[in-house]
A and B are shown apart, each in its own frame.
Chain A
């Protein structure tokens, strides 16, 4: 079956520190991988995605590379800011593109990040 294992939190970093949040997955077939971010009291926002092996997703200074050989999709950022404080979720989808196909997302447990000035 499909599942996502995510690094336990909480993580506390100083501003401008390097961030890594580990994520590994188990999947049948060829899933797409995602990172979502959730701010307090809000829904999930798509941060970045990768749809096939060796793809690198990037957005707002965050990056993650789809590694099929290690079944991993680790999130990294070179220099975090206070505004990056949030909960980060790794997810996979048994991706079927297009509107007329079904899919289901499988989420990790979330990693809470706090960045202190």
Chain B
């Protein structure tokens, strides 16, 4: 069974630009969550989607948004990028025992 797939693996963007990250969950999983990982703040929850609806949201500004499609694939968008948005963005799909299965992440660098 294929794991969680995130694309792209690496991105370099300029301040003020916007970026879209993609996540395909494990087949059959319908819940997708996004996390931001930085050396200073560790792992922080961004949001969770289920059946195309956002169910939970972390404490991030409105520049961070997401969506989920009918095939459970999810995208995350960050607008008006700031240097502090440089991070590893991790997507996870939820297993039947409540565990999270993570993708390899997208490394975003804002210059």
Task: A110 to B90: give the CA distance in the assembly, Å.
Answer: 15
Q: Which residue of B lies closest to A89 (CB)?
A: B43
Q: How far is the CA of A105 from the CA of B102 in the complex (A)?
A: 12
- B33, B45, B94, B104: the one contacting A43 at CB < 8 Å is B104
CB <8 Å contact, B56 and A102: yes
| A27 to B88 CA separation, bound complex (whole angstroms) | 27
Interface residues on A, range: 20 to 34
- Partner pick for B50 among A51, A100, A106, CB 8 A cutoff: A100
Q: B31–A102 contact, CB under 8 A?
A: yes
B111 located at the interface, meaning its Cβ lies under 8 Å from any Cβ of chain A in the complex: no
Complex interface: stretch among A11-19, A68-76, A77-85, A90-98: A90-98
Q: How far is the CA of A96 from the CA of B101 in the complex (A)?
A: 15
**Contact with B43, one of A98, A99, A103, A107 (Cβ below 8 angstroms):** A107
Q: Is A99 in contact with B31, judged by CB distance below 8 angstroms? A: yes
Contact for B97 among A36, A97, A107, CB less than 8 A = A97
Taking a contact as CB atoms under 8 Å apart, the answer to whether A97 and B50 are in contact is: no
Bound-state Cα–Cα, A49 to B43, Å: 18
Determine whether the beta carbon of A97 is less than 8 Å from that of B102.
no
- Asked if B55 lies at the interface with its beta carbon under 8 angstroms from chain A, I say yes
Identity of the chain A residue whose Cβ is nearest the Cβ of B45 in the assembled complex: A104
- Besides A46-B100, A97-B96, 8 new A-B residue pairs in contact (Cβ under 8 A), listed by A number: A34-B100, A41-B104, A99-B30, A99-B31, A100-B30, A100-B51, A104-B58, A110-B43
A-B contact pairs, 12 of them (CB 8 A): A32-B97, A32-B99, A43-B105, A44-B100, A44-B102, A89-B43, A97-B97, A99-B29, A103-B94, A104-B56, A105-B43, A105-B92
Q: Name the 10 nearest CB pairs between A and B, nearest first.
A: A43-B102, A102-B55, A107-B43, A95-B98, A44-B102, A43-B104, A43-B105, A99-B30, A109-B42, A97-B98
